Amino acid sequence: MNETLKRSISGAVYIVLLLASILFSTESFFILFGLFLVIAIYEFCNLTHVSKALPLIAGTLLYCTITLISHYNKITTETINQIFDTNVEITINIEQLNIVLLATTLVVSIKCILFLFYDNIQKISTSSKYLYLFGYIILPFIFITKISFGIKDYNPKIIIGLFLLIWTNDTFAYIVGKSIGKNKLYERISPKKTIEGFVGGILFAVLAGYLISKYYIKAKPEFSEQSILIWTSIATIVGIFGTIGDLIESKFKRIAGVKDSGSIMPGHGGVLDRLDSVIFVAPIIFLFYQILNYVS
């Protein structure tokens, strides 16, 4: 089969599967990204030569547990007491849990940035591998599910809007870079990326953010200006940190000596190759939402 055709078909299947799961129900969205997480853990373990069994079990349990606690309130004092036949008062503070998880993820994100720009060592220590696995892979998938709820209830438009911004940024960074790109962005890690493409991707993502706010989100007139500001800000975050996320994954692949993180998507590589931007951006978007919620 022609490589372009193969790439087009697998890309279309991915987009349809993604949109269908997001739009069908909250549960289908959680299940799909749970499956994506399992594959991402598998791929990252292959990249870093880490034993797979324990990370797969721990990552799946953590994802399921926090999803249940955060979004379904299934873990209650009554349920736990019934299971263990006790009478102990147990309270789970979701806000405190979010703060701990977010702080952990952001610390690992900073370590990832330092690893990308300042760490010339081509061999990653075992402890760092597990730290990256936890804070760079597992926790961001949890935050992807969290940001889909915005301030309150599940809203598929939020997560679809985020992916539209990421796809816009990636597409126009490539087009602009291919057309007028002359200055390399970070040649040592990604020879094809250019500064012109990077800037072009951000500008078109900001335009997409404006259009999403105006014609897709359709905020009430009194909140229209706020909505535009929020979505253009998210677009800027996506353009900057999505590119950094892409570069970080490229460095992991360069150290591993491979072109793609996996082969589950013909012509596109693995799950990490498709989601490297969103997993790095998700915790930062969640932080952005928390700041908005706090100041409002």
d(CA 288, CA 259): 33
| Maximum Cα interatomic distance, the chain, rounded to a whole number of Å | 68
For residues 189 and 251, the answer to whether their CB atoms sit within 8 Å is: yes
What distance in Å separates the CA atoms of residue 206 and residue 229, rounded to the nearest whole number?
10
186 bridge partner residues: 190
- Provide the pLDDT for residue 86: 58
The three-state (H, E, C) secondary structure of the chain, written as one string: CCHHHHHHHHHHHHHHHHHHHHHHCHHHHHHHHHHHHHHHHHHHHHHHCCCCHHHHHHHHHHHHHHHHHHHCCCCCHHHHHHHHCCCCCCCCCHHHHHHHHHHHHHHHHHHHHHHHHCCCCCCCCHHHHHHHHHHHHHHHHHHHHHHCCCCCCCCHHHHHHHHHHHHHHHHHHHHHHHHHCCCEEECCCEEEEEHHHHHHHHHHHHHHHHHHHHHHHCCCHHHHHHHHHHHHHHHHHHHHHHHHHHHHHHHHHHHHCCCCCCCCECCCECHHHHHHHHHHHHHHHHHHHHHHHHHC
pLDDT at 74: 46
Q: Classify residue 5 by burial, with Cβ atoms within 10 Å: 0-12, 13-18, 19+.
A: exposed
Summarize pLDDT for 248-267 with one digit per residue, the tens. Answer: 999 999 888 888 887 787 76
Separation of alpha carbons 254 and 275, rounded Å:
17
- ∠ at Cα 29 (27, 31), nearest 5°? 70
pLDDT for 130-181, tens place per residue? 999 999 999 999 999 988 876 567 888 999 999 999 999 999 999 999 999 8
Q: Low-confidence residues of the chain, pLDDT below 70?
A: 1-4, 72-93, 119, 121-122, 150-152, 219-223, 267, 295-296
The pLDDT value recorded for residue 71 is 72
Whole-model pTM above 0.85?
yes
pLDDT recorded at residue 2: 62
The pLDDT value given to residue 134: 94
Q: Give pLDDT, residue 75.
A: 47
